[in-house]
A and B are shown apart, each in its own frame.
Chain A
Amino acid sequence: MIKKFLPFIVVFLLISSFSIILFDNAAYAQISLEEAISNIPAGSEKGEMDQSAKKGFLGIPGAPSPNLMIGFLWAIWVGWIFSTVGAFGGIMAGVGHISIFGLGDYAKTFKTSAPELNKLVTDSIRVSNQWLVGLSALVSSISYTKQKRLVSSLGLFLGLGALFATFLVVFTTAGKVKFSQYQGFFGLIVFIIGGFMIYEQSPRGQRSKKEAQAAVKSFEKTIKDKKNIEDQGVKTLKWNIIKTEISFFGQKFTFSPVWAFVGGFFISAIASFIGVGGGFLYVPFLTSIVGLPMFVVAGTSALSVLIGMTFSIFNFMALKGVIVYWPLIGVELLGVFAGSLIGPRTAKYIPNRVLKGIFIVLAVYLGFRYTLKGFFGITLL
């Protein structure tokens, strides 16, 4: 297993070194939380800070202290979505950090009086989302590696793209993104996910499902005579920069490493900026555009998410000094777990189509709300 991960570790270390050399300490040192707090005008008005007030989020005097019970209950909702709908759970986790715990509104109060604090809180929200996604991707990647579902060559090119993108995003946006901008971009991403969900429910999306069902019937008999494909594992036959050939179950598949790199770069750039995993983009990209089978795609996309998130968290926290509120992440992980236990038990009472419909409406609403509020300052109900 170590051998599989070795190329990624080497690349990770190389790019980390590169980032340090390129941006020496003086150049990239971001203002610390203590410095940001000390720069805030004293007082009790909006945009001012009473230094003697009770410490809240991240130890900031007078900041809201996220209610851990609300965090836990919200995370149950997130976990429930994970186990019933899928990708939209990550978006809901972000909604919790932005709206439900009062952090977004708090950050906004310092938009003009203390923009450094506004940006530090925004970065903390982004990194909190990434912790949730990164930790989940970690266990999935280990599990897929054990199942021999990992294609080192594909993972390497995707991961390289992800590393460069994350590097670029962290060093160009850490400490520079205002909360309102982040909220606006988050809204746009929700639109994209909503778009995927609408497509799935459209006649065209449904037609491909029907085709799949017909194909399932015609191939079901054959499967009984076959050996377990997991025993075979995936092998890379030859790989170079133009074309890479992999094989499993006696079949050959080819892909372009350049495409894998480009895909990894763009998907990871979005994921790192918003603080989502990007699995919802990796999987359709690898299956539909690159044309690889799901068996190969599953583990490799989980690994790509892990690489992107690890590098992003490392850069934000270790190099940029962004801090997170650990107890909130802890109760959120527990809540997500509890919600995923409830999901399967309730799913049978709600038809899948109804469920998807509800989340499409929610995606459109959230997309509009955040985009309008973030970019234009317009508040929807």
Chain B
Amino acid sequence: MIDRILIFFYKTTGFPLLDYFVGTFILAFLCVIVGDVIFLIGKKINGKYIKKMTTEMKKKEELSIIAYQRGDKAGYKALNKDATNAWGKNFFTMAAYSAGMLSPLPFALGWMHTRFSDVEFLLAYPLSLIFGETVGYTFTFIPLYILSRIIFKYIRPYILKNLK
């Protein structure tokens, strides 16, 4: 079922190469939207906790700088270390939320592998010097995902405004 829906986007123009890029762009854009929805759900559920954690981390960082400003080296060292612990927790929690945001990517790449694992794009010089003679589907998907994320960044406020 999913395969039929996704491959539909690869048959829009009738020109194979163009179809491939249109289909991959739509797939990448879908990944961005689904990832964003997952992230928003996480934020909604645990927003309070994230805020508390971030505030604690920032406070400790600020305190360490004030200690440094005052020339209190021992205080700076101790506070800096304390901020490290707060940062560790914040970093890994945010890493886990990022995981949710990016989770559609491997599924999309997994689907592309079933359809396009034999497709290879010849690269022109000097790109061939860096990436080798040919590249596969991942090489086209990732730049299109980044492009989709940039476009979505500008569209997102309008979508959220209309949803409200």
Which A residues are closer than 8 A to B by beta carbons?
13, 16-17, 20-21, 25, 79, 82-83, 86-87, 89, 131-132, 135-140, 143, 208-209, 211-216, 218-220, 222-223, 226, 229-230, 248-251, 279-280, 283-284, 287-288, 293-295, 297-298, 302, 317-319, 325-330, 332-334, 336-341, 343-344
Contacts and interface: CB of A to CB of B under 8 A. Distances in A.
Contacts, number: 200
A20 B67 CA distance: 49
A298 B87 contact: yes
A82 B61 contact: no
A223 B63 CA distance: 7
B52 to A, nearest CB: 9
A269 B106 CA distance: 26
A327 B108 CA distance: 9
Interface of B: 38, 42, 45-46, 49, 58-69, 72, 74-76, 78-84, 87-89, 91-107, 109-110, 113, 126, 129-133, 135, 138-139
Contacts of B131: 16, 318
A-B pairs with the 10 shortest C-beta distances? A337-B100, A326-B110, A340-B96, A139-B98, A136-B95, A212-B82, A330-B106, A294-B83, A333-B103, A211-B78
Contacts of A334: 38, 99-100, 103
Given A215-B67, A302-B91, A79 B96 contact: yes
A211 B80 contact: no
A350 to B, nearest CB: 14
A352 to B, nearest CB: 10
A326 B139 contact: no
Nearest to B96: A340
Given A17-B130, A83-B96, A220-B63, A337 B139 contact: no
A150 to B, nearest CB: 14
18 contacts: A16-B130, A25-B132, A79-B96, A79-B99, A89-B96, A135-B99, A212-B79, A229-B65, A248-B65, A249-B69, A293-B61, A293-B76, A298-B91, A318-B131, A327-B106, A330-B106, A337-B103, A344-B93
A332 B65 CA distance: 38
A84 to B, nearest CB: 8
Contacts of A137: 95
Given A326-B113, A341-B46, A293 B69 contact: no
A128 to B, nearest CB: 10
B94 A143 contact: yes
B93 to A, nearest CB: 5
Contact of B66 (A209, A213, A219): A219
Nearest to B58: A230
Given A330-B106, A333-B99, A20 B129 contact: yes
A330 B110 contact: yes
Contacts of A223: 59, 62-63, 66
Given A17-B129, A82-B95, A333-B99, A251 B105 contact: no
A20 B132 CA distance: 8
Given A89-B92, A223-B63, A215 B110 contact: no
B81 A208 contact: yes
A333 B64 contact: no
A82 B88 CA distance: 9
A318 B132 contact: yes
Given A216-B60, A327-B110, A319 B132 contact: yes
Nearest to B133: A25
Contacts of A143: 94
A333 B100 contact: yes
Contact of B107 (A16, A86, A87, A327): A327
A86 B62 CA distance: 22
B79 A295 contact: no
A43 to B, nearest CB: 28
Nearest to B88: A86
A372 B42 CA distance: 40
Contacts of B87: 283, 294, 297-298
Given A79-B99, A140-B98, A344-B46, A318 B139 contact: yes
Contacts of B92: 82-83, 86-87, 89
A294 B46 CA distance: 25
B109 A326 contact: yes
B16 to A, nearest CB: 24
Contacts of B81: 208, 212, 287-288
A21 B95 CA distance: 35
Nearest to B50: A344
Contacts of B78: 208, 211-212, 214-215
Contacts of A16: 130-131
B74 to A, nearest CB: 7
B102 to A, nearest CB: 5
Nearest to B112: A326
